[in-house]
Amino acid sequence: MEAVVCSLRRVSRLLLLLPLLVVAACSPTPDALSTADQEDLLRGLCEAIAAIDGVAGDAADAAIGTAEAAFFTRAHAPLHTLAGRLTDDGTVSTAAELLVAKQRVESSFDQGLPISILHDNLATLLDAADAGLEAVGLRHLDCSGSSQ
């Protein structure tokens, strides 16, 4: 019985992700992410994380604004491109994980969630972006700036 419940949960999660995957699949995407797009994606996420890392109190609002700007100006569009590429390549589960992580970050900004939750969500998105880049055979950077 427990296995059936677990399977039903997996199916229901996949059904919830279906609209996100349809959007990714129907969005026009180039065949490949350019090197500049890859760097913008990861540097944007790293800048967003660095902006809020260790910040508390009165400085939090300004730090969140800086993180939001880095996320939307540098990382947002390449994340969509990467999700489309993953979908085109048949790596649907990785695309879904990336889109869910991206949505959590967007919701964190929209809902004004605590900075600690935003930080965790950005870190999760960075991991999902790294996994996505790896899945399509692209290089990625860590937040220290070194190539991997």
How do residues 18-52 score in pLDDT, each as one tens digit?
Answer: 454 444 444 444 457 888 898 899 899 999 999 99
Give the pLDDT of the chain (148 residues) as one tens digit per residue: 555 444 555 545 545 554 544 444 444 444 578 888 988 998 999 999 999 999 988 899 999 999 999 999 999 999 999 999 999 989 899 999 999 999 999 999 999 999 999 999 999 999 999 999 999 888 766 787 654 4
Residue 47 resides in a domain: yes
Residue 35, domain extent: 2-135
In 10 A of CB 29, how many CB atoms? 18
- Tell me which amino acid residue 132 is: G
pLDDT at residue number 9: 53
Asked if residue 142 belongs to a domain, the reply is no
- Cβ atoms of 51 and 106 closer than 8 Å: no
- What are the start-end ranges of the H helices in the chain? 2-26, 35-52, 60-70, 76-88, 92-111, 115-135
Number of domains within the chain? 1
> Residue 2: its pLDDT value, please?
54
In a domain, 122, yes or no: yes
The alpha carbon of residue 57 and the mean position of all alpha carbons in its chain are separated, in whole angstroms, by: 26
Measured CA distances, 8 to 3, 14, 51, 74, 106 (Å): 9, 10, 40, 37, 28
pTM of the model as a whole: 0.76
pLDDT confidence of residue 7: 53
